[in-house]
Structure 1
Amino acid sequence: MKNDQQVDAQAILEKYDKENQFRTQIGKWAWVVTFLGVALTIFHLYTGYSGTLPTQKQGAIHLGTALGIVFLLYPAKKAWMNTQKTVPWYDLILAFTAMYVAYHKIIFFDSILQSRISGYSMPDVFISILGILLVLEATRRTVGLPIVIVASTAILYAVFGNYIPTQILSHPGFSVERLAPNLWFQESGVFGTPIQISAKFIYLFLFFGVILVHTPIGKFFNDIAFALTGRYTGGTAKAAVVASALQGTVSGSSVGNTVASGSFTIPMMKKAGFTPEFAGATEASASTGGQIMPPMMGAAAFIMMEYLGVSYATIMLAALVPAILYFTGIFIGTHFEAKRLKIYGMPKDKLPIFKDLMIKNGYMLIPLVVIIGTIMIGYTPQRAALYGILSAFLVAYVRKESRMNIREIVNVLEQGARVALPVIAAVATAGVIAGVVSITGLGSKFAAGVIALSSGHLIFALFFTMIACIVLGMGLPTTANYVVTATIAAPVLINEFAVAPLAAHMFVFYFGIVADITPPVCLAAYAGAGIAKGNPFKTGVTAVKLAIAAFIIPYIFIYNPILVLVDATPLKLLLAVTTAILGMIGVSSAVIGYFARSSRIWERVALFGGGLMLIVPELMTSAIGFVLLAAIWFIQSRRPDEAKDQLESSAITV
């Protein structure tokens, strides 16, 4: 059974996760990929320890080497993934050309700096055009076509802006000779903030995650989750939520996390009595939350740090309360669904014992403690990642079965580069989009459009921003989505509506993430449905219901940013978190259709309204919400849980 699950998991990854659609047989070129991958990881470890190179040089080695590996590994068409026995000649040309056009910035570093004053030559223009085209093609192969379409549209907009009839969007237009060098050689384009942060911080944290994956920490997290929650009502689903939250500390991939955890948890949930759609949705929604779960979060969190000019500890702390509320909402949803279906916990004798697990394997948490501790006491994320990597290597050597020999160490170093490839390509292309926004002034034009559509009302501006983030998220990876929305949308909320900067950036960050579970394009939900063998669309709808907190909490912390620790005092924060958790109980019970008993429609409306009032961190509204929830509980607890009520609830629950 285990082998079958592994085969299915790999097939699902290849189907829904573009990052896993690479060649498996490349002949002698495998040695070149290994050399480049190991060299790139060692380069980042060395510069992380001794100090990074000037940003343009660091970025050139980071992007150029990654592009070379991409063209050696990823075929031009998915259908060629397992049919080609070696790297075709044209991909070899693309690989080494891509490396050269990036390294060109290092070879001619001084003359390129001088060209910013004297003007770029035609060879510089040619190199720029070639570099941008190769970045777009590498991104198409590793991430997918949608982000390439967005970037290409942005380039066309920059060149042909003078032909746009709408006054609010038109601009004089830029020649290709002026645009291409600006996007390739300047800090506002391909080699802008996103790729710089990727080269400094993101790569090291991704490598840290790779090392942890090669230790038994994943199984340890699953065992901890089952030890803590397995014996309670709906224990298998609750364990899946807890395990995914823990896995989220080392993984920022919604689809990858869904498949890795779901291969184990989804069959157990189905066996316990949950529907395939609910089992797949539980894992997908919990795994998607990994990108907002400190300390690792997603790669976009590091870019947010740079955009806001704050420490990574600030980002971590700001994300903590919303993440707790997110996972609490899913956890409560699984509880009420289990109560509705009368699914109980697992026998205690079949569950691991928490105390024994911590005595035997508690040392595996040391790398995470090191990461969190070093960041909180003021070390840079770069230094924290290095200490985390070192401690993870040492942890792997505690037990004989997890020790790595030379071959395995080389493989881990190579995997560090492979995991980073899609992120590097995505942030490079996002840099193209951000560069166009900067050059053309699209940000201010977007602001004018949002203000016009919203008539100056913040709630409408938030709604339009949410829709834009979700739509972009259906085609763009989270990191690229955040770069675009943080460049265009977040400044509108900050400058035009006086929203706290941290709250505005967290808002667009959240809604870029939930696109992974929002139909019609909800890849994490599709992956969960693939493992559960359920209906993909129903799985996506159920995932949205379970993750309802992600659609509510961002609005709350915009209006009252205490939830992201802006102007928060301990007492106010404690009250806000307590009432918000009670609110999530009301909202989750409403969408599931069960509270003390199966809920009638009017009761669900009252529970939802009361839950929203409790989530709003204001004393009066919270008090009204609490009274509403207490009243429904009293009414339901005095009513027998009749079969008729259960059927009524089932009929309106997807």
Structure 2
Amino acid sequence: MELNGKIGDLKNKDINTDIEEQNKAQNAIPQEKEEFVEVKTREINSNFYIYLTSIICFSWSVFQLYIAYFPMNTTMSRSIHLSFAIALVFLLYPVKFHKKAQTSVPIYDILLCVVGVIAALYPFVEFYSLAQRPGDYTKFDVLISSAAVLILFEAGRRVIGPALGIIAAIFLCYDYFGQYMPDIIAHQGASLNKLAGHMYLTTEGVFGVPLGVSVSFIYLFVLFGSLLERAGAGQYFINLAFALLGRFRGGPAKASVIASGLTGMVSGSSTANVVTVGTFTIPLMKKAGLTSTKAGAIEVAAGVNGQLMPPIMGAAAFIIAEFLGMSYTNVMIAAVIPAFVCYASLFFIVHLESCKLGLKGMKQDKSVSKLKIFFSGLHYLIPILVMLYTLLIAKESPISAAFNAINVLFLIIIFQEPIKKMAMGEKVNKNDFIIGFADIFWAMVTAARNMTTIAIATGLAGIIVGSISLTGIGQVLSEVVEIIAGNNILLILFLTAVMSLILGMGLPTTANYIVVSSLVAPVILFLAYKNGFLIPAIAVHLFVFYFGILADDTPPVGIAAYAAAGIAKANPVTVGVQGFFYDLRTTVLPFAFVFNNKLLLIESINPAAPNDAKGIVWITNPLEMLLIFSTALIGMFAFSSALQGFFVTRVQIWERVLLLAVVPLVLVPNMCVKYIAAIPNEYTSYAIGVGIYGLVFAYQWMKNKSEKKSS
């Protein structure tokens, strides 16, 4: 970008235009005329409004960096965090969709903004007074708490829709009217005074663990991703993927998978992943010969799986660590094999589709050096390596890792333009440094805007978590589910998966995970233990996480499918159905790692305390890790071939049956040993599975060779 354009960005860039474009992409539905596309954010052509919202966003990012280096009392920091989010909601998001730009912010939104900020800051301002009279709440305390919760409901409705608010409201009604409930779920009921105090003036409700994780971890990683994207890393990943894979069969689609995986490592958002990468890859996939539906679906599947990729893994991964009392590093270790197996199998599916359709690679300019493209953005890997070093080698907290990586990114953004000029022998001036500071400013603004949804969602989700701790509904639910499932652990896992998919249609991944894991995870662990299965808590929480992510491409509401369909100019429902079909392989892995913990690199757990994170023994033998990864890959490849009806060539029914038989033999060999007497140990199970896979491949290869000769 030219210098004048960058300086113009610094002076005149309209943050609301950015917001509008982002939301159009996220909510895009193919339309015949663009004027019928409704946008969700407020568009006002006023310099004062632009500067005000941008300064609030920038101040929020500065505050988060400050508390990362100078820690603050948790209640105080959560209070300020929520106040920023509420202020931005009522300034940026209108009460309803508008087809035309508004001329000003309505007075009622200004009033809601002011009252909301005051209510959100109340625990901060009155922190010491509330600490001196715990539980002895005044009428004014109850009034402020009630007003704050109502405003939070409205804020949630504006940014994430009504679903989470409705669920939270149901839980509040259950808390208050407990004595009128059916006997099996009845309780004595909570007074308004107790309910308001518990939900808003303690760290059990709104200001509980979910919002705390948003303050501590999520914001810094979202800021890191925003800075990395603004620096140019996103485009670098896309260019690199196309340079390496574009010339191969179905190259654009394969490049889309790799680019989405690389982008997903730092974005942590399926929809953002689809919009960022899909804008470039979907048109190229269509040019290569894929239909609009399949091009959109491949990008959806690749984008959705981006939330599985370490080191960021979406916001919910940080909450998993917090809920389980585990280090985030251990969560990453547990997630690494399933994540890479997922992406490798999607890459394989794309290859199978390309073979079925007879696609060819793209013609590439031979004058463009792949090595040059690789080295052109090598500096973008430095902050990622710094983050991984801080987490894995230095064994510091995720906060330190993100903070260190952000500082490195600041330096890269400021100096990359001057260094490029110096390398080209051009003169460097002060405006080149202003470019970097401008990019940092707008990246921090974008991060705050993206965090608004997460902060509000985690605040609302805290009400549900607080309700469970207040009433003990979790224990009641475990009894109800136990009756329904009849001690069948597979049935309870299936019901949990369905619940995650249904709730995920109306909730963000983070909120979906919090709701389902809070309600169902303890039940699964209890039933598993009762039926003789020692399942670590991390396996169950990742199970819920996986199915929550899959909801992003599940019709009829999968938002990632809508985003991809808008770019591909296809029907969002058919794109979602096709994307979910590609992602069926992702539904197999959670069931597998629940019963075969080695897929999570867990050797064993303490039978006396199966839910204690400290009781986990991790696999450290590199050869065993390689065996687990390679056999899991074969299992997922076999499942993908059976699903697609294609291997080396089209498969027959008996070949499909054999390929499906490979899946349990290599993914859950421990269960095969337990239930099949002819298999003495896990290594035998691996060998049989790999042997069957090899025989089918050899037969297919010879059949394909024979068909080519005869033709």
The equivalent residue for 2:342 is 326
TM-score by length of 2: 0.85
Q: Which amino acid aligns with 1:156?
A: C
When structure 1 is superposed on structure 2, of 396-405 and 372-381 the one drifting more is 396-405
Is 1:438 the counterpart of 2:469 in the alignment? yes
SS at match of 1:250: helix
Is 1:231 the counterpart of 2:231 in the alignment? no
Match runs of 1:143-154 below 5 Å = 143-154=160-171
Is 1:467 the counterpart of 2:498 in the alignment? yes
The equivalent residue for 2:138 is 121
Q: Which amino acid aligns with 2:173?
A: L
> For the Cα contact (< 8 Å) 1:9–1:263, is it kept in 2?
no
> Aligned partners of 1:214, 1:90: CA distance in 2, in Å?
35
> Aligned partners of 2:573, 2:26: CA distance in 1, in Å?
18
The equivalent residue for 1:105 is 123
The equivalent residue for 1:507 is 543
> Aligned partners of 2:295, 2:504: CA distance in 1, in Å?
24
Q: Deviations over 1:256-298 (max 9, x none)?
A: 2111110100111111111111111111111111111001111
Task: Return closer, same or farther for 1:21/1:532 CA change in 2, 3 Å cut-off.
Answer: same
Task: Return closer, same or farther for 1:513/1:369 CA change in 2, 3 Å cut-off.
Answer: same
The equivalent residue for 2:596 is 560
The equivalent residue for 2:93 is 74
> For the Cα contact (< 8 Å) 1:227–1:351, is it kept in 2?
no
The equivalent residue for 2:482 is 451
2:570 aligns with one of 523, 529, 534: 534
Is 1:252 the counterpart of 2:268 in the alignment? yes
2:649 aligns with one of 590, 597, 610: 597
Match runs of 1:112-511 below 5 Å = 112-117=130-135, 119-165=136-182, 167-349=183-365, 353-376=369-392, 377-396=394-413, 397-400=415-418, 404=435, 406-498=437-529, 499-511=535-547
> Aligned partners of 1:375, 1:557: CA distance in 2, in Å?
24
SS at match of 1:372: helix
Q: Deviations over 1:37-73 (max 9, x none)?
A: 222111111111122x111100000001210111111
Task: Return closer, same or farther for 1:9/1:367 CA change in 2, 3 Å cut-off.
Answer: same
1:75: Cα distance to partner? Answer: 0.4
1:139: Cα distance to partner? Answer: 1.0
SS at match of 2:26: helix
> For the Cα contact (< 8 Å) 1:329–1:546, is it kept in 2?
no
The equivalent residue for 1:58 is 77
> Aligned partners of 1:604, 1:276: CA distance in 2, in Å?
28
TM-score by length of 1: 0.92
Q: Deviations over 1:70-102 (max 9, x none)?
A: 11110010226x431211100000001111011
Q: Deviations over 1:132-159 (max 9, x none)?
A: 1111111111111111111111111211
SS at match of 2:249: coil
Task: Return closer, same or farther for 1:320/1:424 CA change in 2, 3 Å cut-off.
Answer: same
1:411: Cα distance to partner? Answer: 2.7
Is 1:13 the counterpart of 2:26 in the alignment? yes
Task: Return closer, same or farther for 1:493/1:35 CA change in 2, 3 Å cut-off.
Answer: same
1:558: Cα distance to partner? Answer: 0.7
> Aligned partners of 1:612, 1:357: CA distance in 2, in Å?
42
1:248: Cα distance to partner? Answer: 0.4
The equivalent residue for 2:109 is 91
> Aligned partners of 1:228, 1:68: CA distance in 2, in Å?
45
Is 1:639 the counterpart of 2:703 in the alignment? yes
Q: Deviations over 1:287-328 (max 9, x none)?
A: 111111001111111111111111111111111111001101
> Aligned partners of 1:263, 1:505: CA distance in 2, in Å?
33
> Aligned partners of 2:340, 2:362: CA distance in 1, in Å?
25
- Alignment RMSD: 2.4
When structure 1 is superposed on structure 2, of 450-459 and 568-577 the one drifting more is 568-577
1:131: Cα distance to partner? Answer: 0.6
SS at match of 2:265: coil
Task: Return closer, same or farther for 1:393/1:19 CA change in 2, 3 Å cut-off.
Answer: farther
When structure 1 is superposed on structure 2, of 30-39 and 333-342 the one drifting more is 30-39
Is 1:47 the counterpart of 2:67 in the alignment? yes
> For the Cα contact (< 8 Å) 1:9–1:260, is it kept in 2?
no
Task: Return closer, same or farther for 1:356/1:449 CA change in 2, 3 Å cut-off.
Answer: same
SS at match of 2:313: coil
> For the Cα contact (< 8 Å) 2:28–2:565, is it kept in 1?
no
> Aligned partners of 2:204, 2:305: CA distance in 1, in Å?
31
The equivalent residue for 1:648 is none
SS at match of 1:491: helix
1:502: Cα distance to partner? Answer: 1.3
> Aligned partners of 2:664, 2:527: CA distance in 1, in Å?
26
1:37 aligns with one of 41, 46, 57: 57
> Aligned partners of 2:343, 2:85: CA distance in 1, in Å?
35
Q: Which amino acid aligns with 1:413?
A: M
> For the Cα contact (< 8 Å) 1:616–1:622, is it kept in 2?
no
> Aligned partners of 1:478, 1:357: CA distance in 2, in Å?
34
1:619: Cα distance to partner? Answer: 3.0
Is 1:588 the counterpart of 2:607 in the alignment? no
The equivalent residue for 1:572 is 624
1:516: Cα distance to partner? Answer: 0.7
> Aligned partners of 2:375, 2:445: CA distance in 1, in Å?
33
Q: Deviations over 1:350-402 (max 9, x none)?
A: 69543222323211111111111111121211111111111112222212489
> Aligned partners of 2:437, 2:311: CA distance in 1, in Å?
30
Q: Which amino acid aligns with 2:98?
A: A
> For the Cα contact (< 8 Å) 2:26–2:562, is it kept in 1?
no
Task: Return closer, same or farther for 1:211/1:315 CA change in 2, 3 Å cut-off.
Answer: same
The equivalent residue for 1:517 is 553
Is 1:619 the counterpart of 2:673 in the alignment? no
> Aligned partners of 1:288, 1:577: CA distance in 2, in Å?
21
Query: How many corresponding residue pairs?
Result: 635
Q: Identity of aligned pairs, percent?
A: 38
> Aligned partners of 1:173, 1:582: CA distance in 2, in Å?
54
> For the Cα contact (< 8 Å) 1:321–1:564, is it kept in 2?
yes
> For the Cα contact (< 8 Å) 1:230–1:351, is it kept in 2?
no
> Aligned partners of 1:579, 1:281: CA distance in 2, in Å?
27
> Aligned partners of 2:520, 2:586: CA distance in 1, in Å?
18
> For the Cα contact (< 8 Å) 2:500–2:516, is it kept in 1?
yes
The equivalent residue for 1:3 is none
The equivalent residue for 2:584 is 548
Q: Deviations over 1:418-474 (max 9, x none)?
A: 111000000000001111111111111121122112211211121111111111111
Q: Deviations over 1:539-582 (max 9, x none)?
A: 22221222223201111111111111211242332222111111
The gaps in structure 1 that reach 5 residues or longer are 1-5, 644-654
